[in-house]
Each structure stands twice: as structure tokens, then as C-alpha cells.
Amino acid sequence: MENKSLWELIAHSIRKNIRQYTMIFALLGIWLIFSFLTEFIFLTPRNLSNLFVQTATTAILAMGMVLIIVTGNIDLSVGSVMGFCGAVAAILMIRLEWGPVPTVLVTLLVGLVIGAWHGFWIAYQKVPAFIVTLASMLAFRGAIIGITGGQTQGLEMAADAVAADSFKAIGQSYLPKLNEALPFHDTSLYLMIASVIVYWFFEMKVRRDRQKYGFHVLPLKYQFLKMLLMSVVIAAFYGIMVIYLGVPYSIILVMVLAIVLTFVANNTVFGRHLYAIGGNAEASRLSGINIARNVMILYMLMGLLTAVAGIVYTARLNAATTSAGQNAELDAIASAVIGGTSLMGGEGTIVGSLIGALVMASLDNGMSLMNLDITFQYIVKGLILLLAVWVDVRTRKKS
């Protein structure tokens, strides 16, 4: 490692992480194509900021879906459950006149109970996850119509307008500025600087830990080059929001969940058990891993994340609609697969699912800017999903 040139290291890294690099190149290619096709409207700070907000709900669902698929399971109900949880939140605020805090807490509890219901049937009754979640997809689609009466429940109907505005802030508002006189969003700038500092701290910590246990590390000059390039990426991400309206609350929520779930997946016994179950369930069982308990907890976590997505979705739309969440399960699965999660189980990352969600949202956003007919939008997204699975199968065979 120490004697290799920069280009040899880059080539080695690309060969080793071909699927991860494929999705990054795909995202850059999609952005480049839509930039030319929309006369660069796609790359304006306003559109990119809106794109990040649109990505939030899909990203939350995709992060949970990664962990589900990693164990070799699936959840087809997330779209309907997300719509149902969003409708529950709207009903609590409009009809029962609850405030935002109890509304959010009860909605999260509803998601947790639904996840426990799925986990019970899948983990302890051994009903295939495909069937259990397919049944819920149909049942909760009907439940949405049932509790909304088949009509859109707009949050402007809530008796307490202040409470409704507080709830809407989850999906629509941005971090406040500290100095209103400045021509840019100063709070987002400080957040960008803090993020870069935290990234450098953890990157150097990982390097010290790897050296401590005798693992290979990059030569120091290449390590700094990598960190510098990643810092530019972080700065570019925040820079879009610094020169527009700032960082949305929903994006902060996604980032917090990504950090927590990445820690859970990589640094906890529960996370390592999930990957082990997906890699070889029989070997996991023989090694003493309680598969049923882990799957039960996993589906409860997925239910909780789905409720969070429902809250963000309803807050962003300012209403609960009967069609809320339709096809969201397909976007979540596609995001996870495009992000490098293997449908064969045992492999996938939270960060990859975020990039996959950004790919799916970019396709929606770009094709909408082009006023492309909805028929072709579905066809394009379907072909992208097929391509992602093909790459997964091919790279698996080579490895």
C-alpha cells in the first residue's frame, strides 16, 4: 500500500468498490444530462435545495429498507404505512386538536406497533415477509381511506393554527439565520464548517485505529488528499443551501438518522447480527444468534422509521391525502438497490441508500422539469432499477 502510486491506489479502490463507484458515476451522469436538457435549471441552488427536501422521505424509508434487505427480507408496506401514519398525524391535529408534540409521539407509537405486528408474523409465525407486508400494503391503503373519509385532510383545517404551523415546520422550514443582515445563510455556513471538522476528526480516528490493529492505511499524503476532496463535496452540498434559504429541518433529520443508523449497522452487536443473518442464516443460527428476536426488533425499527417518514411527508405537503405513499415502497427498494444493497442479503450501506434516494429523486425532479410524460417517467425509473440489479448480479458473480 505504501509503495503504490496514486493512480494504482485509485484503480485498486475502484476495483474493490465497483458498485459504490457505479452509483456515484450514475448520479453525476444523471445530473449532467438533466443540466443540459433543462438549460441548467436543474443545477440552480433553488432546484437543488428543493431536490434535497424531496429526497427526505425516500431517504428515511431507504435507510430502513437497507437493513431489511441485508437480512434477506423485504417490506412492501412502507408506502401504505407511511401514508397511514401521516393520516393519523393529520387526524390527531384536525379532529382531536392535539399539539405537535403528542401528535408526533402517538404517530411514532403507531408506526412502532405496526412494525411489531409485521415482526410477529415474520419472525415468530414464519410467514414470508413478502406476504405479510403485501397484506399490510393492501390493508393500510384501505385504512387511509377509512380514517380520512376518502378526503384530503389539510392541516389548515386544524383549530390551533400555531400548532399546525409548528408541525408543518418539520417538512417545510429551514434553520433560522443568526444575522439577518448577511446576504448568505450564516447558520448553514457554521454547520458546514462543523461538519468538515467532525469529518476530519473521525477520519483520523479511523486511521489511528486501523494502524493500531495492523490494518493497511493510505499513505499520509494520499489520506489528506482524500479528506480534502471529501471536504469539497461536503462544502458543495452545504454551499447550495448557504446561498439559498439554508438547511431544511427535514435534511437535518435525515442526517441525524443516517449517523445513528450507520453507527447501529457498523458498531453494534445488533447491526453485525443483521449482516450475519443475511450472509448465511443457518450459520448464524448455529453460532447462537437469535434470528427471530433480531428480525422482530428490525421490523419495529422499520415501523418507527416509516412513521417518521409519514410525519415529514404530511408536514411537507401540509395535508394527508388518500394517495399518500403510493409507490413509495418501490422508490425505497430501488434506492437501496441502486445504493449498492444486494438483494441476496448480507451487503449494503446506509450512505449508499442515501445516494440511491438522491438518484431516484433526481430522476423525478429532472423529468418533471422537462415536462416528460408520466408514462415515460415510470419506464425510465423501471429501467434504472433493472440496470442496478443487473450490476449487482454481475459484480456478485465476479467477486
How far are the Cα atoms of 120, 172, 176, 207 from residue 243, in angstroms, in the given order? 48, 18, 14, 34
How far are the Cα atoms of 172, 238, 246, 299, 313 from residue 177, in angstroms, in the given order? 16, 14, 8, 38, 24
Kindly report the average pLDDT of the chain as a whole number: 87
Segment 260-278 shows an average pLDDT of 92
- Residue 304: the pLDDT is 96
Segment 252-257 shows an average pLDDT of 93
Per-residue burial over 200-216, b if 16 or more Cβ lie within 10 Å, else e, is eeeeeeebeeeeeeeee
C-alpha cell at 32: 449532467
- Residue 71: the pLDDT is 92
pLDDT band of residue 85 (cuts 50, 70, 90) is very high
pTM, two decimals, is 0.90
Q: Yes or no: say if 53 and 251 are a contact pair by the CB < 8 Å rule.
A: yes
Of the candidate ranges 12-16, 23-27, 246-250, the one whose mean pLDDT is the lowest:
12-16
Of the candidate ranges 2-6, 224-228, 258-262, 311-315, the one whose mean pLDDT is the lowest:
2-6
C-alpha cell at 262: 450507520
Maximum average pLDDT range among 159-168, 216-225, 307-316: 307-316
Residue 399 has pLDDT above 60, yes or no: no
Cβ within 8 Å of residue 11, ≥6 positions away = none
pLDDT band of residue 59 (cuts 50, 70, 90) is very high
- Residue 124: the pLDDT is 93
Residue 344 has pLDDT above 90, yes or no: no
Residue 157 is classified by DSSP as G
Segment 355-381 shows an average pLDDT of 86
Cβ within 8 Å of residue 185, ≥6 positions away = 174, 175, 177, 241, 242, 243, 244, 245, 246, 247
- Residue 158: the pLDDT is 81
- Residue 343: the pLDDT is 79
Q: Yes or no: say if 357 and 58 are a contact pair by the CB < 8 Å rule.
A: yes
